Structure 1
Amino acid sequence: MEHDQSPGEPPNHPPAQATLHEIRTAETSAAHLLPKLHSMKEFNPHLTLLDVGCGSGTISVSFAKLLPDGYITGIDVNPKILPRAQAVAETAGIKNIEFKQGSIFQLPFADETFDITYCHQVLIHIGSPWDALREMLRVTKRSGVIAAREGDYETECIWPELPELVKFHKLMAGLMRSGGGAPAAGRQLLSWALRAGVERRQVTLSYSTSSYNTPGGRKICSQGLCEQLRGGGLREKALKFGLGTENEFEEMAQAWEEWAEKEDAMLAMLQGEILIQK
């Protein structure tokens, strides 16, 4: 799935890193869930859906468009991102949605609240992802669906293989591990679901790819990563854990800028996907 454009520009235009995340929609980031969502919608147009780790809300908003008679709840552990998510929804004219602060390990909802519970690029960053899946199962109704899509960072391929970008790949993997995450999350989703107590027959496993290979896509990718290397949370965390120096981060940023301008440049990664039928 190629990423090369933002779904819209709400008030207070975001920094480049936010734009990198805000090109995500249900169509690009939850395609494995959509056939099931549409079949469930035929029987119940008033579906409730929880988007765990909603970030700035572009995926949540696209779910709300697909379920105009349903209701979407987005939740994120970072309260500072929620005003941005609300702005995205308001700009899109979406009313059937709300955003709350909360942890995936302690979702602030009663048992069996939602018809569909979904997360995207969340489990890859946390320890004990099976506990997170168990909590997602708890808040999902009987006969409901839990869906997740996580990158397999170890499958990333890039061209041209500039030395500084190879270093960047190692930096990102180190950052994930330092926070208890698993860079190869995509290939471990089924294992985590089974550890959460799910039976194999309940799980549908699939794979897709994400890629940046157009001028627009490369620009968004490069600008977002450069911003993080030059002053964002990625840089701060990497310095904290001794995973690089300021000079090295600047060299990586310059390499991303060089990569974005090359006509033959590309970046792709395998994405693991699961659907759990409760």
Structure 2
Amino acid sequence: MTTPHPTADTPAYAPGHAASQTKHHEWRTAQNSAAHLLPHLDRLAQQTPHLKLLDVGAGSGTISASLAAHLLPHGGSVLATDISDAILSRAASHATSQNLPNITFQRASVYALPFPDGEFHVVHAHQVLCHLPDPAAAIREMLRVCAPGGVVALRESDMRMWCVWPEREALLKFHGLMVDTLVANGGQDKGGRRLVSWVLDAGAGSLGRGDVEAGFGTWCYSEEGDRRAWGEAMVERLRTGQMREKGIELGLTTEEGIEEMIKAWEGWIETDDATLGIMNGEVIVKKP
């Protein structure tokens, strides 16, 4: 086993792990947020008895659980990690409610994963790198624990690539506030478009461009339930979240501006033709 050498401390997840801040993450499943991985997962599961998948930065665990459900008929298993014991407990409760015996949970930093080299056939991370100051170092660790012939699957929002209707001024200002506070927290606002670059940097010459399959996928919030899941979460972030505090502290917005954004999201939820599209970069790295 190679001892990992992290290049930076893992930062806290700036928005926090309170249910009000992470509940909209529970809208996510493997089907709507990791579809780029599923064909590769099926191929590897058929080739590999007892396939092992590591889900890094699993958060509320709904993607982790749906990956476990996908693997259950094949005899595969999922180990989900995060830096927060509280969010892992929430994820474990969700997995229990889904009757999934093939998923376990462990606290771990992506910069220093406590596993041997080549331990997992598949390593997956979703919306993790955008919150890190050194994404390439995190990818390097994920590559280390991935077995030769396996894959590392990554998906990151490109925060500059949003499209919202109706184009209310307060919603456009909210988008700017979300981007600016992410960057102020040390995060990455162009993660989706930079994934290939980060992967090649992390490979340090051992990976070629042919080892990296790249694409883009979208989220669409348009049906009433989807609008409600997103909009109510953004209202909570504006009322009680770190984004509100950071935005006011840095002079990016005001109390009055926050209230305008809250009213705009509340109105957007109830608007039949409202829609929000978010672009996500996706890569599959085939470990040589």
- Length-normalised TM-score, structure 2: 0.88
1:245 equivalent to 2:254? Answer yes
Say whether 1:53 aligns with 2:57. Answer: yes
In structure 1, C-alpha distance between the alignment counterparts of 2:175 and 2:232, rounded to whole Å? 16
Structure 2: tracts of 5 or more residues without a match: 1-17
**Counterpart residue type for residue 86 of structure 2:** K
* Residue deviations 1:7-58 (CA, integer Å, cap 9, x gap): xxxxxxx845433110111111110010010011111141100111100111
Question: Could you say which residue in structure 1 is the equivalent of 2:40?
Answer: 36
Counterpart in 2 of 1:116? 122
Query: How far apart are residue 250 of structure 1 and its match?
Result: 2.0
Aligned residue identity for 1:79 = D
CA distance in structure 1 between the partners assigned to 2:102 and 2:250 by the alignment: 42
Read off the aligned partner of 1:114 and give its amino acid letter: F
- Which of residues 174, 177, 183 is equivalent to 1:171? 177
Alignment of 1:8-47 (within 5 A): 15-47=19-51
* CA–CA separation in structure 2 for the residues paired with 1:147 and 1:276: 6
Aligned to 1:215: 224
Please state how far the C-alpha of 1:111 moved relative to its aligned partner.
1.1
Q: Provide Cα deviations, 1:136-181, integer angstroms capped at 9, x if missing partner.
A: 0011111110000111111101011111111111111111111222
Contact (CA 8 Å) 1:45, 1:67: kept in 2 or not? no
TM-score (norm 1): 0.91
Q: 1:132 aligns with which of 119, 135, 138?
A: 138
User: What is the alpha-carbon distance in structure 1 between the residues aligned to residue 250 and residue 78 of structure 2?
Assistant: 37
Paired residues for 1:143-158 under 5 Å: 143-158=149-164
Structure 1 counterpart of 2:6: none
- Residue 224 (structure 1) aligns with: 233
> What does residue 84 of structure 2 align with?
78
Q: Which ranges in structure 1 are unaligned for 5 or more consecutive residues?
A: 1-13
1: CA distance, partners of 2:20 / 2:221 = 15
The number of residue pairs the alignment matches comes to: 265
SS class of match (2:140): helix
- Give the share of equivalent positions with the same residue, in percent: 44
Partner amino acid, structure 2, of 1:48: K
Q: What's the RMSD between the two structures over aligned residues?
A: 1.4
1:11 maps to which residue?
none
CA–CA distance in 1 between the matches of 2:66 and 2:111? 25
Q: Is the 8 A contact 1:41 1:47 kept in 2?
A: yes
Cα drift, residue 220 of structure 1: 1.1
